[in-house]
Structures are given as structure tokens and as C-alpha cells.
A and B are shown apart, each in its own frame.
Chain A
Amino acid sequence: DADVTQTPRNRITKTGKRIMLECSQTKGHDRMYWYRQDPGLGLRLIYYSFDVKDINKGEISDGYSVSRQAQAKFSLSLESAIPNQTALYFCATSDTRFGYYNEQFFGPGTRLTVL
């Protein structure tokens, strides 16, 4: 099945450490997104990419960076992790062919804890 995968699924790290979360997809979609979810706050967009050469900041990009290594791969980095970045992180994809509607499909998520 065409899918969105995220690694790692769980990660505990310490304040100040650099950490990378990875997302891969076999859906053939060109658009990829990174969200974080905090209890009661819904999903908030961190970064999005419409193709390999196109990277855009979302609502809450401070403290994060991204890399689009290929159409199928989109990584999120925390250069110096801090405790308030503890959250559930989701990668999502969508397809330009259905761009007007922008239906997005989510990976399984990464639970990140920063101590």
C-alpha cells in the first residue's frame, strides 16, 4: 500500500541536543508538510514543501528547520531542543493534481519528549 512513514516513532532527548525526524512516502505526492500537535491546540503547521526546491515556513517555524532531500523524503530538525518542543509530530502529504482540494494524508507520528 502507498504509505507515509515516520522515524523514529518515539524519541526522548535532552535539552540542547540536535534531533532529526524523518518522513518518507510512497504515495507519489509532491507536497509534504510537518505539523506538531499539543493537547487541546490541534495541529499547527511548522513547514511545508510543494516540491524539492520549494520550502515554506508555517505558523510555528521558529526553532525548527527542514530539508527536502527528494520528492519522497522530508526531514524536520530541531537544532537545539528545548522542553516546550515536547509534542506529537506528524508528517503529511498531498498531491498537486488535487491541489484545489488539498486533501492531506498523515503519517503515524513521532512522539518527542525533551527533558
Chain B
Amino acid sequence: QKEVEQNSGPLSVPEGAIASLNCTYSDRGSQSFFWYRQYSGKSPELIMSIYSNGDKEDGRFTAQLNKASQYVSLLIRDSQPSDSATYLCAVKAGNMLTFGGGTRLMVKP
């Protein structure tokens, strides 16, 4: 059984702070890793993809991948109240994505 684990939260950070979201996965053959943002009652929106060990930056978002530790994280710099949402980690192994249960982030003004 392939597993993707996330702390359900909520993770509460003050506006302007760095939010750090973490995800671990069980399948060492996993090839691609994704972060989706989902607002309440809405569909998941892809915000970051990462395929190689190390960091990938896109605006205020940085994804970090460590395949040896089977760990992927998302950093959100200068957090804004509009970043308050559930963040889903997804891992591709073979032809399918496996999703974690999501971490709820709350950014307080």
C-alpha cells in the first residue's frame, strides 16, 4: 500500500511569516512530487511540481525534495491571509498519483 502522510493541522502562522508544510511517502520508486492548494469547497489547484532532489523556487513558494529521506516539503514565504487553505501533497509512482490527506494552513492577520 503506497502511502503519503501529512500532518492534518491546522498549522497557524502570523501574516508575513514562513509557513512550512511537510510530507513523507513510502514508495521509494516515486518519480514526481506535487503540491496542490485547495480552498474550502473548491477544487485542488496545482502550485508546485518537483522531480529532482533539492530546492525549486517559484515566487513565494519553495518546494524541497529529499528522496533518500522520502520527504518533500513546501515553504511559503511572506504568508498572506489568502494563503489560508488546505495543501495537498501528491506523489507519482507508476501511472498514478497518490494524495496525502492534506494540511490545513491558517494565516492570521
Contact = CB atoms under 8 A, between A and B. Distances in A.
A5 to B, nearest CB: 11
A107 B32 CA distance: 21
Given A40-B101, A42-B88, A48-B96, A100 B44 contact: no
B51 A90 contact: no
A108 B44 CA distance: 9
Contact of B97 (A50, A100, A102): A102
B96 A101 contact: no
Task: Describe A's contact surface by its main secondary structure.
Answer: loop
B44 A102 contact: no
B95 interface: yes
A68 to B, nearest CB: 16
A106 B32 contact: no
B95 A101 contact: no
